[in-house]
């Protein structure tokens, strides 16, 4: 979904990418986590995200929808696939949807437009840069 919560398979470079995941834990299984893996067009894992790690909680004993929003201007332009897994970490895989979704992050004027076609990475890291008027050497 985009920032207007419209279903999309293509997003602008500075647009919002949201993923909604329906789940059913009405049985009340404990220790359940849902994880997402994003791969590039070559099959290289770009990043993973885990509900339990991010929310610091377990999946509740309900039927519901989880929302996941990718950081804005995080992924370089390109085509990506998403896999979703429900599991009890280190114990049991409950459900797996490998390469369930595909989306394209379009080049719409990122700072890297001039490098189009060059392999300059998969994510844009907004690192904290600083400058000092003294030498560290």
Query: pLDDT tens string for the chain (137 positions)?
Result: 555 666 667 777 677 788 889 999 999 999 899 999 999 989 999 999 998 887 777 788 889 999 888 887 788 888 899 999 999 988 999 999 999 999 887 766 666 666 666 666 777 777 677 666 776 66
Residue 1 falls within a domain, yes or no? no
Residues 6+ apart with CB under 8 A from 31: 58, 88, 89, 91
* pLDDT on residue 2: 54
- Residue 74 maps to which CATH number? 2.70.50.60
3 occurs within a structural domain: no
Backbone angles phi, psi at 55, to 5 degrees: -90, -10
Q: Which domain holds residue 90?
A: 10-115
Residue 77 confidence (pLDDT)? 82
Q: What pLDDT is stored for residue 86 in this prediction? A: 92
Q: Is residue 130 part of a domain?
A: no
| 125 is a domain residue | no
Please indicate, yes or no, if residue 134 is contained in any of the structural domains: no
Closest among 69, 98, 103 to 83, alpha carbons compared: 98
Statement: the pTM of the whole predicted model exceeds 0.85 = no
Task: Evaluate whether residue 129 is within a structural domain.
Answer: no
d(CA 115, CA 85): 34
- In terms of Cα–Cα distance, which of 60, 36, 57 is closest to 48? 36
Q: In 10 A of CB 110, how many CB atoms? A: 18
pLDDT at 100 (0 to 100): 93
In this structure, what is the dihedral angle of CA atoms 4, 5, 10, 14, given to the nearest 10 degrees?
Answer: 50
Residue 18 lies in a domain: yes
In total, how many domains does the chain have?
1
For residue 131, tell me if it sits in a domain. Answer: no
């Amino acid at each position: 979904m985009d920032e207007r919560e419209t279903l999309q398979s293509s997003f602008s470079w500075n647009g919002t990418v949201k993923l909604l995941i329906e789940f059913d834990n009405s049985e009340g299984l404990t220790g359940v986590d849902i994880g997402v893996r994003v791969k590039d067009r070559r099959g290289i894992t770009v990043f993973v995200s885990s509900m339990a790690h991010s929310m610091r909680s377990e999946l509740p004993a309900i039927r519901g929808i989880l929302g996941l929003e990718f950081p804005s201007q995080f992924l370089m332009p390109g085509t990506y696939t998403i896999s979703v897994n429900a599991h009890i970490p280190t114990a049991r895989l409950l459900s797996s949807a490998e390469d369930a979704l595909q989306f394209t992050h379009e080049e719409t004027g990122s700072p890297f437009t001039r490098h189009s076609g060059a392999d300059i990475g998969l994510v844009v890291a907004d690192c904290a840069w600083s400058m000092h008027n003294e030498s560290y050497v």
